[in-house]
C-alpha cells in the first residue's frame, strides 16, 4: 500500500481512543490540549478549533476531534485531538509507511507525556485506510459487475436492476485484530467525482504507556491491511496503480 504512484488512497488514519466522559477525565483533557500542541509546536502549526460553536459543552464533543494541527511544510500531514480521541492523519496518496510510522510514534509519545492516563487504562487503537475508485454509477447499470471483477467480491441477485447505490459492511477477527471493511458508493465533495469508497481498518486494545506493544500492534495492522489491499485489487486494477 506504500509508494504506489497512482494509489487510490484518500487518507490513512491512526486513531487512539479512551474513556473520557467523566468530569475528572474532561478536566485532564482541557489541561492536556495546550501542553500537547506546545510540545509539538516545532513540528506542527498552531491548532485550529473545529467545533461549530465555541460555547458548546465539551462533554458533547467526547470522541470527536476538537483541535487540528497541520505539519509545518506538509499540510497533508496532521493530528487531531479531542476528549477521548487522538488521530494522526495523512491526506492524499503521497504516503509511505516508513515515514508515517515515526510521525505516529512522535505524536503518541507526546500525548503520553502530557496526559495523565490511569495506569490500568486501556487504549483503543484503530488503523484505517480510505480508498477511492472512480466509477460513474449514475449513468451505468453494471455496478455489481464492476465490484465483482475488480475487487473479487461476488454480489449477485436476480431482483437487482440498474443499481445506483451500494453499501456493504463486514467484520471478523484476525491475528492482527478485529478487521472491518465498508464499501459505499459516494461522491468526493471537492472534485465532484463519483465512485466507490472502501474503508478497511483493524481495531485493537493496548495497555497505556506500553510503546513497544503499541508499535507492534500498529505494524501488524499495517501488514494485514497492506496484504488485504493487494489481494482485494489483485490483477489489472492493482497493476494500474503502479
Return the sign of the alpha-carbon dihedral for residues 156, 187, 75, 87. negative
Mean per-residue pLDDT, 63-83? 97
Q: Is the pLDDT of residue 24 over 80?
A: yes
Model confidence pLDDT, tens digit, residues 120-153:
889 999 999 999 999 988 776 678 888 888 999 8
Q: What percent of the chain has pLDDT over 70?
A: 98
- Residue 53, SS3? coil
Query: Can you give the pLDDT at residue 141?
Result: 66
Q: Is the pLDDT of residue 1 over 60?
A: no
Query: Can you give the pLDDT at residue 191?
Result: 81
At 93, list the grid cell: 496518496
Give the containing element (helix H, strand E) for 174.
strand 167-174
Mean per-residue pLDDT, 42-61? 93
Query: Can you give the pLDDT at residue 231?
Result: 96
Model confidence pLDDT, tens digit, residues 179-234:
999 999 999 888 888 999 999 999 999 998 889 999 999 999 999 999 999 999 99
Q: How far apart are CA 234 and CA 236, in angstroms?
A: 7
Mean per-residue pLDDT, 77-101? 96
Return the closest-CA partner of residue 229 out of 181, 185, 193, 187: 181
Query: Can you give the pLDDT at residue 190?
Result: 80
Position with higher pLDDT, 145 vs 113:
113
Q: Mean pLDDT in the chain?
A: 92
- Cα angle 50-54-57, degrees, rounded to a multiple of 5: 105
Q: How far apart are CA 182 and CA 199, in angstroms?
A: 5
Amino acid at each position: 500500500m506504500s509508494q504506489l504512484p497512482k494509489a487510490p488512497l484518500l487518507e490513512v488514519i491512526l486513531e487512539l481512543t479512551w474513556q473520557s466522559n467523566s468530569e475528572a477525565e474532561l478536566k485532564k483533557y482541557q489541561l492536556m490540549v495546550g501542553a500537547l500542541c506546545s510540545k509539538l509546536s516545532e513540528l506542527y502549526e498552531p491548532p485550529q478549533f473545529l467545533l461549530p460553536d465555541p460555547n458548546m459543552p465539551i462533554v458533547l464533543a467526547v470522541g470527536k476531534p476538537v483541535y487540528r494541527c497541520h505539519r509545518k511544510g506538509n499540510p497533508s500531514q496532521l493530528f487531531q485531538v479531542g476528549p477521548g480521541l487522538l488521530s494522526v492523519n495523512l491526506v492524499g496518496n503521497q504516503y509511505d509507511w516508513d515515514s508515517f510510522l515515526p510521525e505516529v510514534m512522535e505524536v503518541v509519545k507526546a500525548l503520553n507525556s502530557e496526559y495523565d492516563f490511569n495506569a490500568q487504562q486501556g487504549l483503543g487503537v484503530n488503523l484505517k485506510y480510505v480508498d477511492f475508485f472512480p466509477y460513474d454509477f449514475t449513468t451505468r447499470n453494471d455496478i455489481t459487475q464492476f465490484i465483482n471483477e475488480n475487487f473479487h467480491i461476488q454480489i449477485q441477485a436476480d431482483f437487482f436492476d440498474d443499481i445506483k447505490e451500494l453499501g456493504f459492511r463486514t467484520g471478523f477477527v484476525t491475528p492482527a485484530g478485529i478487521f472491518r471493511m465498508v464499501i459505499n458508493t459516494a461522491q468526493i465533495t471537492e472534485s465532484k467525482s463519483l465512485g466507490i469508497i472502501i474503508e478497511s481498518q483493524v481495531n485493537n486494545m493496548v495497555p497505556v504507556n506500553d510503546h513497544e506493544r503499541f508499535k507492534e500492534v500498529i505494524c501488524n495492522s499495517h501488514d494485514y491491511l497492506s496484504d488485504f489491499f493487494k489481494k482485494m485489487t489483485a490483477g489489472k486494477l492493482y497493476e494500474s496503480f503502479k
